[in-house]
Amino acid sequence: MAQVKGYIEKIKFRNEENGYTVMSVSGADDGEEYILVGTFSYLSEGEMIDASGSMTVHPVYGEQLQVEHYEILAPEDTVSMEKYLASGAIKGIGAALAKRIVKKFRQDTFRIMEEEPERLAEIKGISERMAMEISDQVEEKKEMRQAMMFLQGYGISMNLAVKIYKEYGPMVYTVLQKNPYKLADDISGVGFRMADEIAAKAGIAVDSDFRICSGILYTLVQASVNGNTCLPETELRAQAAEILGVDADLIDKHLMDMQIDKRIVVKLRPDGERMVYASRFYYMENGIAGMLHDLNISGNEPEEEIRKNLAIIQERDGITLDELQIQAVVQAVNRGLLVITGGPGTGKTTTINAIISYFEQGDMKILLAAPTGRAAKRMTEATGREAKTIHRLLEISGIPDEEDRINQALEGRSTMHFEKDEDNPLEADAVIIDEMSMVDVALMHSLLKAVSVGTRLILVGDVDQLPSVGPGNVLRDIIGSACVPVVRLTHIFRQAAKSDIIVNAHKINEGQPVDLGKRSEDFLFLKRADANAIINCMITLVRDKLPEYVKSGVYDVQIMTPMRKGALGVERLNRIFQQYLNPASPDKREKEMGDVLYREGDKVMQIKNNYQIEWKRRGRGGVILDEGTGIFNGDMGIIREINLPAELITVEFDEGHLVEYAFGDLDQLEHAYAITIHKSQGSEYPAVVVPVLSGPRVLMTRNLIYTAVTRARSCVCIVGLPDAFASMAENAMEQKRYSGLKDRIMEICL
């Protein structure tokens, strides 16, 4: 057994997935350079390591120590201390400052940093604030190293351990010992099975009360991933018993206990079916129902007067409203709450503009918002007034305080935090929200908390589109309750009727046949019989034909496909189109993570909400014009830079928001040359290309192809088999989504 003790001079290679590292170490006693290889917890250049293992001879790199055991030591002498501090391990300390610190405090340097950090301000060039920041870094590195060792004791890989520590910080011990199943909720790459293995290592028995309760909650969480806010009790019993590998009778006992502990809520539906909620979803839906009821108040302005004023606006603005649109304006003026729904070409935007003009005549303050950046941008273009994402409207902020964060993690609550709420409401006379079909229960609940009674709330969307990616059926449940004023626009206006995109979208929605052979300027069906022929046709369309046809860039042509897997799935199409639209070049840096290759110039999409990630918008000369936090599921951008030494990828999103991703966080991004139709919600593209071939009936549905077609502004090209398209258009099946908002609203208003 050989042993090496010394400073880590340079980390030559590091695999972030498993922690495998090659590094050079300067011997503490002899100053000789040693090469150490092995799997290590978090460490930095400049640190002192005491390692033991077997000396081996590499055919290329020569003698190296294959490390079997190691320990990171505090620097023992002034030379070691100075070397560590000068290595860059502590931000803000360079060689000159390191020399002054060690000269002043000598052997006492690290004790001062940990126990009396304010004394660092005695050094020229260190303020009191900087002294505390240095102390915090020293403590954080110490805590992180201890946590890495702790996590690896549970068989957790280096890369995953770093993610876990970033998520929980010092509370990681509490989470693992109290509820290791929480990892499956919060950490990408941890599923229930892995969490279950960790729980077993933590000594949690298979039939323990804690494990079964966690398994029930996990089943409900998994249901929420599929859009449900609740599950029928019979389905929950069966699913939880299968996941946990226990008898269903054990589930029954714990359901009662969990109700008593208020971790779940069980409600009877009008038909007698028992529905089980994770408590947070029940209280969200109940809260939404109550706040909608409070907002739903009536005004007393005479309708005749409203119509008279509206006629003046129509003449002034050169618009003509039909009776339904006029009714929408009347309701908007005289009601505190209104829903406007309708398909493409039915005048939703014109109606919104008429409502805005009416309100502005009365000097009312109006706020506009939509769920995504792209939808907000479209709203801005359509109204000529600033529209924000709902998150920005509510002023999303950073991480809550540590105590609340711990409670959120253990209870499964979201860690997103908005500055605008019931104590700090939106200052407006009216709030108009577009693309409401995309809004889930959590976002709706946060929005309503920030809208005061007396502020008009107008919700606009197409109820026939796919429901939100997140849990709930918000727009559909509100309309279905029949307790809220709803205006459904149905008339297709003459200008819109000239578009085959709009005409055919309505035919699809109404189950009418579409003439795929018609020569059209904006709706094309190209017949191809197999996947490879479809792909070849799409390459020609996306790369060569459509950008010029719609007078836009190649990345503005969006491929949308019904599925993720398979010959025409997102994963395969993205690999193929990366080769054709952004081929390898000596001028483009690349980074491979797992089986995904990221390249400068790639079109990418954020695939999970990240409320804390920071973005900056820069102007000429790199001057920062704006900055904030939050990038959200579905946001698209372009990889502008891959910095290999710093292990960072910079992505530019819509509105010029620049975000830096560490290599270990790239699981938040995926290529977006092709996206699923679900991910297209709320967006609009100059041209859309949709491959249509065979697929599962439960997936190939009418509202899926309807949503895809309505995402195109100037041209939609469908490539595949006419029979497959017809089958989708005829398939009115909708995936069952369990929610209770409709019932909650009806309980309050009836």
By C-alpha distance, which of 410, 399, 401, 408 is closest to 173? 410
Q: Known binder of ligand: residue 347? A: yes
Q: Known binder of ligand: residue 348? A: yes
CB neighbourhood size of 521 (10 A): 12
DSSP β-ladder status, 366-370 and 430-433:
parallel
**DSSP 8-class letter at 90:** S
Question: Is residue 254 a contact partner of residue 712, using CB atoms and an 8 Å limit?
Answer: no
Question: Is residue 195 a contact partner of residue 233, using CB atoms and an 8 Å limit?
Answer: no
Question: Is residue 502 a contact partner of residue 345, using CB atoms and an 8 Å limit?
Answer: yes
Dmax (CA) for the chain in angstroms is: 96
Residue-wise burial string across 154-184, b where 16 or more C-beta atoms lie within 10 A, e elsewhere: bebbbbbbbbbbebbbebbeebbeebbbbbb
Paired strand residues for 67: 53
CA–CA dist 351, 319 (Å, integer) = 10
Burial, 562: exposed, middle or buried (Cβ in 10 Å; 0-12, 13-18, 19+)? buried
Concatenated DSSP letters for 302-340? Answer: -HHHHHHHHHHHHHHHT----HHHHHHHHHHHHBSEEEE
Question: Is residue 684 a contact partner of residue 558, using CB atoms and an 8 Å limit?
Answer: no
Sequence-distant (6+) residues with CB within 8 A of 489 are 324, 325, 328, 340, 341, 342, 346, 347, 348, 351
CA–CA dist 380, 352 (Å, integer) = 12
Question: Is residue 402 a contact partner of residue 396, using CB atoms and an 8 Å limit?
Answer: no
**DSSP 8-class letter at 545:** I
Q: Known binder of ligand: residue 234? A: no
Q: Where are the alpha helices (DSSP H) in 412-493?
A: 441-449, 474-480
Secondary structure (3-state) at 114: helix
By C-alpha distance, which of 330, 318, 742, 343 is closest to 506? 343
Q: How far apart are the first and last CA of the chain?
A: 79
CA–CA dist 230, 373 (Å, integer) = 29
Paired strand residues for 397: 417
Paired strand residues for 58: 62
Number of separate helices (H) and strands (E) present in the chain: 28, 30
Q: Known binder of ligand: residue 621? A: no
Q: Known binder of ligand: residue 10? A: no
CA–CA dist 491, 471 (Å, integer) = 31
Question: Is residue 576 a contact partner of residue 583, using CB atoms and an 8 Å limit?
Answer: no
**DSSP 8-class letter at 541:** I
Question: Is residue 29 a contact partner of residue 146, using CB atoms and an 8 Å limit?
Answer: no
Sequence-distant (6+) residues with CB within 8 A of 108 are none
CA–CA dist 311, 308 (Å, integer) = 5
DSSP β-ladder status, 712-720 and 523-527:
parallel
**DSSP 8-class letter at 257:** H
Helix-helix angle 233-244:248-260, to 10 degrees: 120
AA identity, residue 568: L
CA–CA dist 169, 166 (Å, integer) = 6
Could you give the C-alpha distances from 211 to 28, 239, 408, in angstroms and in order? 49, 15, 19
Q: Which residues are annotated as a binding site?
A: 345-349
Q: Which residues are annotated as a binding site for ATP?
A: 345-349
